[in-house]
Structure 1
Amino acid sequence: MSTFSTLQLDVSPTGIATLWLNRPEKNNAFNAAMISELLQALDAIKEHKDLRFMLLRGHGKHFSAGADLAWMRAAAELDYNANLQDAHALAEVMARLYQLPIPTLAVVQGAAYGGALGLISCCDLAIGANDSQFCLSEVRIGLTPAVISTFVVKAMGERQARRYALTAEAFSGEQAVDLGLLHASYAPEQLDSAVSDWCRTLLDNSPAAMRATKSLLQEVKHGELTPALRRYSEAAIARIRVSPEGQEGLNAFLAKRQPSWRVAAPPSDAEQ
């Protein structure tokens, strides 16, 4: 895969992609280069058909401090159309991450501010350290969490998103679980072990079935039953039942054996 200057993309023998935000000296803050590389990396991951799922992580002390100060300073000097292009690029990152065909797991330590909450909200699963700090900080500097708002509201709910977007209050990893932004939080020293546990859980599952289930859930959305949605769901189960992995899974279950996609002894350290 490609070599990046602001990211690091690793792929394990078990088919796990780990996409690292890799500007630790800048607390993994976004700039134009990182946004461009995120688009490239997500495209590369989408085209890699053998991947099972993706971890999104940040090197260093913090997951991401949000927007880079130098990038914001430059943006302040741009006209409306140039700022619109910048916003479009960031919105495209969020959309591609949200729509990635494989399951995604965000792992958060330290600070996650501003646009970083968008990345976390776009992932299917999210865990973090108890002492991690989250903040929708945009209003403090006269801005608004515009392009990430759709995904943050989906993750936290409208009522809580209103509070934290309007007050710019910081909240902890433990609070993030209560708010729905994280699925679980752990003591900082236990976070890597927890990542390994989550990886082992996902490795137990059929890769094709996880892709199909993610696609199904994106189609179902809020669950409003329409004739078209009913036909879609009926076709979805019929397709997966006759697929190679569907047949393998059913036959393995009936024969009381392990399916072929199971990893015999998953390696530790997040399966790398």
Structure 2
Amino acid sequence: MSQTNYPYSEHVLCDIDGRGVATVTLNRPDVHNAFDDVLIAALTETFTRLDSDNTVRAVVLASTGKSFCAGADLNWMKRMASYSYEQNLNDANALATMLHTLNTLSKPTIARVQGAAFGGAVGLVACCDMAVGSKLSKFCLSEVKLGLIPATISPYVIQAIGGRNARRYFTTAEVFSSRRARRIGLLSESVTEEELDSTIETLLEHILKNGPNAVSAAKKLIADVVDRVPDETLRNMTSERIANTRVSSEGQEGLGAFLQKRRPNWYIL
């Protein structure tokens, strides 16, 4: 049952169920959910609102129709062709802001990928914490075919698939399969079309059994620790964080529930 929604655009639907699971849906099936400046702004607004909504426990990024997202909209690209450098820079900054907002969302995020995910859509997938794709899904970093580069999405895609794989797919612009996407780290799971929703539901069931504040803190911990040398500063920081979580109300509830052999108050079946 729907709890609430954020109607920023008819092309970006957002529904929050009674468990606190928000589903953000790209809704431009006639153009394979390609994005333009309007869609980017609506996504940024939606992700920002969800981030500050304490009732939200997890976010699923989905889409309608045959494709997850075809990347940039053709009409938007036609307009960009006549943009000045300053206009292009503003346009790119808007996309960069949207991706950053998704990447740093304090709730766990899951991409539901069916059909094609081309160009900037690969960035959307890479910004999510988890991504489940249909075995029929196809992926392509197609920018160089147009004489462009995947610059704005590159930090997230490279983090997901690694520099070595990026050297190949950024420069060949070849289409690769869901199985390959799983192997290189872009997808968490590659399943049949029929298993797509049940696989995501299983992930959500796991998330909803965990402390919501701890889940958010764990996400931030990863961002703050990744690629850092475990020196004294880092050791002190991680020690302080575990001490803070132990004395927090959620930490006390979790430890108490464990010792008393009961379910904590955040647990959702």
Partner SS, residue 262 of structure 2? coil
Q: Does structure 1 residue 211 correspond to structure 2 residue 216?
A: yes
Cα distance in structure 1, aligned partners of 2:66 and 2:126: 20
The residue aligned with 2:30 is 25
The residue aligned with 1:9 is 14
Structural RMSD (CA): 1.0
Instruction: Encode CA deviations 1:18-76: one digit per residue, 9 max, x unaligned.
Output: 11111111111011100111111111111101211111111111110000000001100
The residue aligned with 1:87 is 92
| AA of the residue aligned to 1:2 | Y
Aligned length: 264
Task: Please state how far the C-alpha of 1:254 moved relative to its aligned partner.
Answer: 1.1
Contact 1:20 1:58 in 2 (8 A): yes
Q: Does structure 1 residue 34 correspond to structure 2 residue 39?
A: yes
TM-score normalised by structure 2 residue count: 0.96
Q: Does structure 1 residue 233 correspond to structure 2 residue 245?
A: no
Contact 2:6 2:15 in 1 (8 A): no
1:52-63 paired onto structure 2 within 5 Å: 52-63=57-68
Q: Does structure 1 residue 77 correspond to structure 2 residue 78?
A: no
Task: Please state how far the C-alpha of 1:5 moved relative to its aligned partner.
Answer: 2.2
| AA of the residue aligned to 2:6 | S
Higher deviation after alignment, 188-197 or 152-161: 188-197
Aligned structure 1 segments of 4 or more residues deviating by more than 6 angstroms = none
Task: Please state how far the C-alpha of 1:223 moved relative to its aligned partner.
Answer: 3.8
1:187-206 paired onto structure 2 within 5 Å: 187-206=192-211
1:249 to 245, 254, 257: 254
Partner SS, residue 268 of structure 2? coil
Structure showing greater relative contact order (alpha-carbon pairs closer than 8 Å, 6 or more residues apart) = 1
Partner SS, residue 157 of structure 1? helix
TM-score normalised by structure 1 residue count: 0.95
Task: Please state how far the C-alpha of 1:226 moved relative to its aligned partner.
Answer: 2.6
Cα distance in structure 1, aligned partners of 2:185 and 2:266: 31
Contact 2:209 2:268 in 1 (8 A): yes
Partner SS, residue 208 of structure 1? helix
| AA of the residue aligned to 1:41 | T
Instruction: Encode CA deviations 1:141-180: one digit per residue, 9 max, x unaligned.
Output: 1111010011100000000011011000111111111010
> Percent of aligned pairs with the same residue?
44
The residue aligned with 2:52 is 47
Task: Please state how far the C-alpha of 1:132 moved relative to its aligned partner.
Answer: 0.2
Task: Please state how far the C-alpha of 1:191 moved relative to its aligned partner.
Answer: 0.6
Contact 2:110 2:200 in 1 (8 A): no
